[in-house]
Amino acid sequence: MNKSVEIQDLGYKDYKQTWDYQEQLFKGILDIKIKNRREKTNVITSNYFLFVEHPHVYTLGKSGDMSNLLLNEEQLTQKGATFYKINRGGDITYHGPGQIVGYPILDLDNFFTDIHKYLRFLEEVIILTLAEYGLKAGRSLGETGVWIDVGTPFARKICAMGVRASRWVTMHGFALNVNANLGYFDNIIPCGIRGKAVTSLNVELGKNKIDEAEVKQKLLKHFEVLFEAELKMESNKI
Instruction: Give the CA distances from residue 155 to residues 87, 90, 158, in Å, rounded to whole numbers and listed in that order.
Output: 28, 19, 10
Helix, strand or coil, per DSSP, at residue 80? coil
Contacts of 191 by beta carbon, 8 Å cutoff, 6+ apart: 90, 91, 92, 93, 143, 145, 157, 160
The catalytic residues are 191
Q: At what angle do helices 115-131 and 212-226 cross, to 10 degrees?
A: 140
C-alpha 90/C-alpha 60 separation (Å) is 8
CB 135 within 8 A of CB 204: yes
d(CA 66, CA 11): 29
Is 144 within 8 Å of 175 (Cβ atoms)?
Answer: no
Distance CA 187, CA 185 (A): 5
Instruction: Confirm if 176 and 93 have CB atoms less than 8 A apart.
Output: no
Q: Are 2 and 110 in contact (CB under 8 A)?
A: yes
